Structure 1
Amino acid sequence: MTLRLERDGAIARLLIDRADKRNAFSIDMWQALPGLLDEAAADPAVRLLIVQSANDGAFCAGADIAELLANKDDAGWRAANQAAINRAQYELTRFPLPTIARVEGDCIGGGCGLALACDMRVAGDRARFGITPAKLGLVYPLHDVKLLVDLVGPGQARRLLFSGMLVDAAEAHRIGLAELHLDGMDALVAAILVASRHSTRAIKGFVRSVLDGQSADDAESLRIFAEAFEGEDFQEGTSAFVAKRPPQFR
């Protein structure tokens, strides 16, 4: 399977496994992604989703260019491919639990879109990021352009999009395209796993609301905030704080 979900307790891993194509995404992979996300979200044990390569090569080299060329004159296929990409990116961006893109090797085009759709990007020394549609006479999806602008700001987004240039891990960290070096990933994962699943889900939803343009509380956000004080996690978290012990959230 070129795209699969593996679960290990509280961690779900979305593995990209197409080494012979540098993990380039085919239409079948874009179409499969939402179902795998639903499977991970439905597991009450899962607290974190990590998107990563299943091999030691590229994270994802982007779209399968050979497949695109083979179907470039098929309007029906092009429409289906666009719909599959748009849905996959939308669903990954709005996955209810924290997500991390673990990036080693090339993270290009649609592959960079996958990383942008995650909450955080952890980059190793061999990571290279690039968004290259302008080199192919193509256009990047507006949804993913917004993800990039939200992350690095309009100036850096324009630089990356207009030039199609590749940036290394150090540059990605400098401009805010990656939040953490791979060396810090274990500590980040451990911290997320001991936090309240209820809290992280709610806070992630609030962050998405802000990024989607909401700037003031509404009835729903006020309800979520207020009801947390009546939840089991609040009781456990405060009891653990007073007792000076790690919380044990269910």
Structure 2
Amino acid sequence: MDFGSYETLLVEQDGPALVVTVNRPAAMNALAGQVVEDLWNLTEVLAHVGEEGDWPIRGVIVTGAGEKSFVAGADIREMEGMSPEDGERYSRRMQDVTLRLEALPVPVVAAVNGFALGGGCELAMACDFIYASRNAKFGQPEVNLGLVPGFGGSVRLTDRVGVGMARELVFTGRTVPAEEAHRIGLVNALFDTPADVVAGAKAVVAEMAAKSPVAIRLSKRLVEQAGPLPTAEGLDLEAGVFGQAFGTEDKAEGVRAFVAKDKPAFPGR
């Protein structure tokens, strides 16, 4: 599968993982307009992973170049001359990127090194889960600029850490270290160095690659859609997706292998 080439992204396949690196280290990997467009175009390509049972990758890792920053935030210099209409367009385009990441048929892991502030924190939260090195720092500092979160922070931060903590972080613009981000549930796991966090992300993608790709795709959609629903409605959705899984070749192979005490070879259909 051709994943394309991009001005501000490094895209490299490593076994079952596709490692996507925001590559603007001189600008702390800030989300300039070109970065947003490159991410948008990449997610358009990745939306077709797994079609017809072809699974060239089994997970995506999003990280940032260098050891100082994952993504430091939006590009403040570009924002300086934006009108209200420009700002809304910028917000909606990056929101599209985050929604596309959430909708990908494979898991997406944020491997956060250094600063993940504003748009960087929002990009990380659009991934399925977040691994971080101990030098990582998270926050939504938009109030320091007279702004509000624009790339999903008002929604996803609440989902991750609860409404009270989300309000505190957004209203104060406070930056929290990796250990605190882990304690409040924003981060799944901590690693000693930026290299370790990427290695940890690759390891979890390899672990997931041994599972049914169809079941993971269905589970990803189910958790996203059922979570916000009232319990009864969520359970109804779950039952429907559970039944859908019974019609897949992966289910047949998984059950066969379990009964035969064999290792499954999931066809991805």
Alignment of 1:56-67 (within 5 A): 56-67=67-78
Secondary structure of 1:59's counterpart equals strand
**Is the CA contact 2:119–2:150 (under 8 Å) kept in the aligned structure 1?**
no
Secondary structure of 1:83's counterpart equals helix
Using the alignment, how far apart are the partners of 1:194 and 1:172 within structure 2? 29
1:244 aligns with 2:261: yes
Secondary structure of 1:230's counterpart equals coil
TM-score w.r.t. structure 2 length?
0.84
1:54 aligns with 2:65: yes
Alignment of 1:136-147 (within 5 A): 136-141=145-150, 143-147=152-156
Q: Deviations over 1:206-248 (max 9, x none)?
A: 1111234364258875443213223211122122223333322
Using the alignment, how far apart are the partners of 2:213 and 2:238 within structure 1? 17
Pairs aligned (count):
248
Using the alignment, how far apart are the partners of 2:151 and 2:79 within structure 1? 19
Alignment of 1:183-222 (within 5 A): 184-213=200-229, 215=231, 216=233, 222=239
Q: Which residue of 1 aligns with 2:167?
A: 158
Secondary structure of 2:18's counterpart equals strand
Which stretch of the first structure deviates more once superposed, 78-87 or 202-211?
Answer: 78-87
Which stretch of the first structure deviates more once superposed, 220-229 or 136-145?
Answer: 220-229
Aligned-residue identity in percent: 35
Using the alignment, how far apart are the partners of 2:110 and 2:162 within structure 1? 20
1:106 aligns with 2:122: no
Query: What amino acid is aligned across from residue 27 of structure 1 in structure 2?
Result: G
Secondary structure of 1:5's counterpart equals strand
Q: Return the offset for 1:157.
A: 0.7
Query: What amino acid is aligned across from residue 90 of structure 1 in structure 2?
Result: L
Query: What amino acid is aligned across from residue 64 of structure 1 in structure 2?
Result: D
Divergent runs of 4+, >4 A: 217-223
1:13 aligns with 2:11: no
Query: What amino acid is aligned across from residue 23 of structure 2 in structure 1?
Result: D
Q: Which residue of 2 aligns with 1:232?
A: 249
Q: Deviations over 1:116-170 (max 9, x none)?
A: 1111000111111111001111011384311111111011111211111111111
Using the alignment, how far apart are the partners of 2:161 and 2:252 within structure 1? 38
Coordinate RMSD, CA, aligned: 2.2
Using the alignment, how far apart are the partners of 2:178 and 2:245 within structure 1? 38
Secondary structure of 2:60's counterpart equals strand
Q: Identify which of 68, 77, 82 aligns with 2:86.
A: 77
**Is the CA contact 2:253–2:265 (under 8 Å) kept in the aligned structure 1?**
yes
Structure 2 residues not aligned, in runs of 5+? 1-6, 51-55
TM-score w.r.t. structure 1 length?
0.90
Q: Which residue of 2 aligns with 1:37?
A: 43
1:134 aligns with 2:143: yes
**Is the CA contact 2:226–2:235 (under 8 Å) kept in the aligned structure 1?**
no
1:172 aligns with 2:172: no
1:120 aligns with 2:129: yes
Secondary structure of 2:31's counterpart equals coil
Which stretch of the first structure deviates more once superposed, 30-39 or 6-15?
Answer: 6-15
Using the alignment, how far apart are the partners of 1:227 and 1:35 within structure 2? 31
**Is the CA contact 1:58–1:107 (under 8 Å) kept in the aligned structure 2?**
yes
